[in-house]
Amino acid sequence: MAAFQIEGGHRLSGSITPQGAKNEALQVLCACLLTQDEVTIHNLPQIADVLHLIELLDKMGVKVTRISEHSYSFKAENIQTDYLFDADYYHRCTTLRGSVMLIGPMLARYHRAILPQPGGDKIGRRHLDTHFDGLCKLGASFTYNADQRLYDATANQLNGCYMLLDEASVTGTANIVMAAVLAEGTTTIYNAACEPYLQQLCKMLCNMGAKIEGIGSNLLTITGVKSLHGCTHTILPDMIEVGSFIGMAAMTGSEILIKNVSLPNLGIIPQSFRKLGIKIIEQGDDILVPAQDHFTIQSYIDGSILTIADAPWPGLTPDLISVLLVVATKAKGSVLIHQKMFESRLFFVDKLIDMGAQIILCDPHRASIIGLGENFHLRPAVMSSPDIRAGIALLIAALSANGVSTIHNIDQIDRGYENIDQRLAALGAKIKRIS
């Protein structure tokens, strides 16, 4: 099993460009199943989760052509539906969370979908009820094989309807939208997710001939069409990488230029880091994080302790809570980090406590951080990455620690960050991959 060996305490410098967005890539790749025509996608990140989904589509019968390092074309002309019952299909789906978004397109076009319990991060319960409830309202029916942990979905005819989602699930909304674009009649989805990546999916579907109104809001109106055609789509930069690089610059006291970040799609991410005292300078579509030896956490106007919490868009993405928590350990002041949406994402703080951070884990959702300021340096440690986002947070912590740290289970980091060791080494980081 590979690991990262990191010699921390060195400043970084230079510029870096974020990869294509992982979460958008998984959605738009599944959307390729909705048409028999060719779909070309640019800015695909070369990360494990995306590559595994591309391999899965290839096994399903999609003609996959690699145009360049980050550009592919897909032609889902002849899907091999028998493969859905193959042991290889079962195995691939159980190791990939994004496989859940195959249900909507397969139901819409082939009236049948088989889904083993999807894999991905072990960050608490991530139930699929929103997906299934929405698809059932469109006319699908589900059976569950408890022994095989397998969902079997069928739909002779999907029909549009009004639905109010029980939660603004991003992947749930994506699944329902992809099914609704080929349903008969009009579908209205209230409490829909409206993240930029879902907006991108909707724009891509519209370019394919779908009729979707209300893009960017939590009320989507979809008029079904008979068929979709091919298109060309470019994926947004990954906002989680942008936030990770901001945190990295702050923790190492480095000046880093983050290029082509798509500022309008970052939402309150820059503002959230500024609350921790980090300077962020916007230059066109780039972000400059100047070198800072110290930064101070803001308090509320009445002097009370700041709380940073995740929320559905346009709130703060939960994927950056881990990074913000790490950065807070080096700031001066106190902050409460509230991870509302997942119950197991804060357990990695035990590793930070071992490194000398002043953190009280209040419960599975809340951690209180006492930032010790510029006089505090984390100690090096040997640790293991429990999930993608905790992994990058531990990597940031290791880069700021004085000494050599080792991070095991870096397959989790590779799932979400493309060649992260090489890209950080180009900035001056002392990091190497060891077996």
Band (pLDDT 50/70/90 cuts) for residue 124 is very low
- Let me know if 121 is a catalytic residue: yes
Structure tokens of 297? Answer: 């956490």
Distance (Å, rounded) from C-alpha 11 to C-alpha 291? Answer: 9
- Predicted confidence (pLDDT) at residue 118 exceeds the cutoff of 80: no
Cβ neighbours of 325 (radius 10 Å): 26
Distance (Å, rounded) from C-alpha 414 to C-alpha 406? Answer: 15
Distance (Å, rounded) from C-alpha 175 to C-alpha 49? Answer: 18
Structure tokens of 219? Answer: 């009320």
Structure tokens of 106? Answer: 């397969």
Q: What is the DSSP letter of 207?
A: H
| Least confident span in 281-285, 344-348, 430-434 | 344-348
* Average pLDDT, integer, range 147-157: 88
Q: Does residue 318 have a cis peptide bond before it, meaning omega lies within 30 degrees of 0? A: no
Provide the CA 308 distance to its chain's centre, in angstroms: 19
Structure tokens of 248? Answer: 């990295």
Band (pLDDT 50/70/90 cuts) for residue 319 is very high
The confidence score (pLDDT) of residue 120 equals: 47
Distance (Å, rounded) from C-alpha 263 to C-alpha 255? Answer: 19
Burial label for 93, CB within 10 Å (0-12, 13-18, 19+), is: buried
Distance (Å, rounded) from C-alpha 103 to C-alpha 107? Answer: 6
**Beta strands in 56-135, from DSSP E residues, in sequence order:** 63-68, 71-75, 112-116
Band (pLDDT 50/70/90 cuts) for residue 112 is very high
More confident residue, 238 or 347: 238
Band (pLDDT 50/70/90 cuts) for residue 10 is very high
Band (pLDDT 50/70/90 cuts) for residue 97 is confident
Structure tokens of 126? Answer: 């991530």
Q: Which domains does the chain have, with CATH numbers?
A: 3-19+237-434 (3.65.10.10), 22-234 (3.65.10.10)
The confidence score (pLDDT) of residue 405 equals: 97
- Predicted confidence (pLDDT) at residue 428 exceeds the cutoff of 60: yes
Question: Average pLDDT, whole number, for the chain?
Answer: 93
* Average pLDDT, integer, range 353-374: 93
pLDDT digits (tens, 9 = 90+) for 394-413: 999 999 999 999 999 999 89
The confidence score (pLDDT) of residue 119 equals: 58
Distance (Å, rounded) from C-alpha 339 to C-alpha 310? Answer: 6
More confident residue, 102 or 341: 102
Measuring CA to CA, which residue among 317, 91, 310, 76 is closest to residue 178? 76
Band (pLDDT 50/70/90 cuts) for residue 121 is very low
DSSP strand pairing (162-164 vs 186-190): parallel
Percentage, residues of the chain above pLDDT 90: 84
* Average pLDDT, integer, range 38-46: 98
Distance (Å, rounded) from C-alpha 429 to C-alpha 406? Answer: 14
pLDDT digits (tens, 9 = 90+) for 194-208: 999 999 999 999 999
Structure tokens of 140? Answer: 């699908």
* Average pLDDT, integer, range 343-358: 90
pLDDT digits (tens, 9 = 90+) for 263-275: 999 999 999 999 9
- Predicted confidence (pLDDT) at residue 125 exceeds the cutoff of 60: no
Measuring CA to CA, which residue among 404, 400, 392, 391 is closest to residue 372? 400
0.75 exceeded by the pTM? yes
Band (pLDDT 50/70/90 cuts) for residue 435 is confident
List 411's β-bridge partners, or say none.
Answer: none
Torsion of CA 309, 311, 313, 317, to 10 degrees: 60
Band (pLDDT 50/70/90 cuts) for residue 8 is very high
pLDDT digits (tens, 9 = 90+) for 231-270: 999 999 999 999 999 999 999 999 999 999 999 999 999 9
* Residue in 49, 121, 238, 421 annotated catalytic: 121
The confidence score (pLDDT) of residue 375 equals: 77
- Predicted confidence (pLDDT) at residue 386 exceeds the cutoff of 90: no
Angle at Cα 102 formed by Cα 21 and Cα 411, nearest 5°?
A: 50
